Structure 1
Amino acid sequence: MTDVVEPGRVRVRLDLSYDGKEFSGWARQRGRRTVQEELESALRVVMRLGAEEAAQVELTVAGRTDAGVHARGQVAHVDLPEQVWEEHSEQLLRRLAGRLPMDVRVWRVSAAPPHFNARFSAVWRRYSYRVSDHPGGVDPLLRGHVLWHNWPLDADAMNEAARLLLGEHDFAAYCKKRDGATTIRTLQALSWERRADGVLEATVKADAFCHNMVRSLVGAMLFVGDGHRPPSWPGEVLSAGVRDSAVHVVRPHGLTLEEVGYPADGELAARNLAARNRRSLPVAGTGNAASSAAGCC
């Protein structure tokens, strides 16, 4: 993966959203329906690419969301031949709308600035997780995006616990470990607010997330909110550095990737280098680094 676009090609940024219910996540998987496969297939068709050009249509994404996770502000990029971009750029958005299934929408297509990389240029990702503790359950019109928790939740206690998790930490206790990948992250925001309709909404923002991190953090917060654990408990789990069986990975449908933040154009190259260095660990027995997975949450 490189930040330097090959001569004769244009890096194109796509801003998109999707309902994750019927997808096995973002990343292409054999025999499974994924967002990446749907979008790459649509691009090949609407641009009428030949076999060689079509084989080079491969998207890089800001965050590889898990099965069932939604996105409102996902960002991806793809490198296209200059002549293909010149021919199709003005009509590409409308043609994608006609080709893509209704649970995936592209809202913006644009030529990216030099050194832009949808994944490594990102300085933060912001997610929301939505929970209802109404004794009657979840509004049927929201059931695909809101988790029902069958205990009353104390938002103040959850926010007290959340404050202890902010900052740079090793989140190994809240991540599914992957070989060669660091679990050190900077949690920039974690807070809960009860909306007017009674739904509790968590805002979770970090430079990046490791696998299952957001859903594990939410699981710990819910255990505090319903009184099963004190507000100090999530911080104690974090300090212990190992998975606690009481920390549940909550279901994915309450989670939505809301927004991805990028620096000014002139800072992209430096950001890419810093992100790559930060998210890698030396491979045992070598001097090489193994890049961490972009999968999330």
Structure 2
Amino acid sequence: MQEDSTVQARPETPEGGAAQRLRLDVSYDGTAFSGWAVQPTRRTVAGVLTAALETLTGAGVPLGMTVAGRTDAGVHATGQVCHVDVPGATWAELRDSLLRRLAALMPADARVRAVTPVPPSFDARFSATFRRYEYRVADTGWGPEPLRRHDTLGWVRPLDLERLRAAAAGLVGEHDYAAFCKRKENATTVRAISRLDWRRDPDGVAVAVVQADAFCQAMVRSLVGAMLAAGDGRREVSWPASLLRLRERSSAVTVAPAHGLTLVAVGYPEEAEYARRADATRRLRVPDAIA
């Protein structure tokens, strides 16, 4: 079989030797983080993860950390994915102990759940085929259970599950979601939602499941905000979908609070398709995977 011309060369370390690309599966409670991305004066998930890795690899070693979805302040994750490149010699030394050492160095509200060596064609951001989020809403009279207060929104109005599902159905597919996004210059707001539905968990909490190839900034929480308005009867179930005809953000849509949102999964193709998928995504757009 002819080699795919899009496959990337193996990254180099500062010493010129081959580096090992690692996939890191990451979970975190976003409550005390100012989002994923490193910020000089704020505590972020990437900041604490980079600090832990540099303790093991040496400060100044370029890791090239790339994440699947840059979550906002207060948003949680049980299925976040990022990749880093570490010197080959470092990987050989830490292969059997890296996960345990990271557990000792990371704070209690952020965990690396798995470390997997991957080929250089793997790109945590551009090779991804989907991101899946869940948003939890407690519409009980007493509010969220205390142990779930950090990841569940309390809603004072009763929600009708069938109304929520009807509102969600009109939002599935490939559309311009400009009404639900914070627009960025030269960035498209066209996205393809492959799944959007609601369920009731055994504890009575209503959970929205949203899956798409990528999301623009504030999109998931805006979609949830619009559907909640339909679910509690303040708006018709057709209203959220009617906003798809707009080409700018709708001031009528309330963005749901960050703490109810969790990134639960990121999907990837088979290893042979990593580079092809990344190349296709780059040609299509440069997505801002911020929910």
TM range (shorter): over 0.9
Report the equivalent of 1:61: 67
User: What letter is aligned with 2:239?
Assistant: W
Contact 1:190 1:204 (C-alpha < 8 Å) held by counterparts: yes
CA distance in 1, matches of 2:30, 2:9: 31
CA distance in 1, matches of 2:250, 2:241: 12
Report the equivalent of 1:287: none
With over 3 angstroms needed to count, the CA separation of the structure-2 counterparts of 1:147 and 1:3, relative to structure 1, is farther
Contact 1:126 1:258 (C-alpha < 8 Å) held by counterparts: yes
Contact 1:3 1:117 (C-alpha < 8 Å) held by counterparts: no
User: What letter is aligned with 2:288?
Assistant: A
With over 3 angstroms needed to count, the CA separation of the structure-2 counterparts of 1:232 and 1:170, relative to structure 1, is same
Report the equivalent of 1:285: none
Please identify, of 79-88 and 237-246, the stretch whose mean Cα deviation from structure 2 is larger: 237-246
State the Cα distance separating 1:3 from its structure 2 match.
4.6
Deviation by residue 1:92-131 (Cα, 9 ceiling, x = unmatched): 0000000100001111112113410000000001100000
What is the aligned counterpart of 2:45 among 11, 28, 35? 35
Report the equivalent of 1:6: 11
Contact 1:5 1:79 (C-alpha < 8 Å) held by counterparts: no
State the percentage of identical aligned residues. Answer: 51
State the Cα distance separating 1:221 from its structure 2 match.
0.3
With over 3 angstroms needed to count, the CA separation of the structure-2 counterparts of 1:216 and 1:4, relative to structure 1, is farther
State the Cα distance separating 1:6 from its structure 2 match.
2.0
What is the aligned counterpart of 2:190 among 177, 184, 189? 184
RMSD: 1.3
User: What letter is aligned with 1:6?
Assistant: P
Say whether 1:256 aligns with 2:266: no
With over 3 angstroms needed to count, the CA separation of the structure-2 counterparts of 1:273 and 1:32, relative to structure 1, is same
CA distance in 1, matches of 2:135, 2:60: 41
Matched position secondary structure for 2:144: coil
Report the equivalent of 2:26: 16
Deviation by residue 1:224-278 (Cα, 9 ceiling, x = unmatched): 0010111110011112233222211110000000000000111111100111112
Contact 1:130 1:200 (C-alpha < 8 Å) held by counterparts: yes
CA distance in 2, matches of 1:190, 1:167: 9
Deviation by residue 1:13-41 (Cα, 9 ceiling, x = unmatched): 10110000000000001200000010010
User: What letter is aligned with 2:11?
Assistant: E
Report the equivalent of 1:242: 248
Contact 1:40 1:58 (C-alpha < 8 Å) held by counterparts: no
TM-score (norm 2): 0.93
CA distance in 2, matches of 1:46, 1:31: 23
User: What letter is aligned with 2:51?
Assistant: S
Structure 1 unaligned blocks of 5 or more: 280-290
Q: Which runs of structure 1 show a deviation greater than 4 angstroms over 4 or more consecutive aligned residues?
A: none
TM-score (norm 1): 0.91
What is the aligned counterpart of 2:288 among 289, 293, 297? 293
CA distance in 2, matches of 1:101, 1:180: 37
Say whether 1:98 aligns with 2:104: yes
State the Cα distance separating 1:215 from its structure 2 match.
0.1
Report the equivalent of 1:168: 174
Matched position secondary structure for 1:156: helix
Contact 1:180 1:292 (C-alpha < 8 Å) held by counterparts: no
CA distance in 1, matches of 2:231, 2:10: 48
With over 3 angstroms needed to count, the CA separation of the structure-2 counterparts of 1:52 and 1:243, relative to structure 1, is closer
CA distance in 1, matches of 2:64, 2:187: 23
Matched position secondary structure for 2:148: coil
Matched position secondary structure for 1:118: coil
Say whether 1:219 aligns with 2:229: no
Contact 2:130 2:212 (C-alpha < 8 Å) held by counterparts: yes
Report the equivalent of 2:54: 44
CA distance in 2, matches of 1:155, 1:241: 29
Structure 2 unaligned blocks of 5 or more: 1-6, 13-17
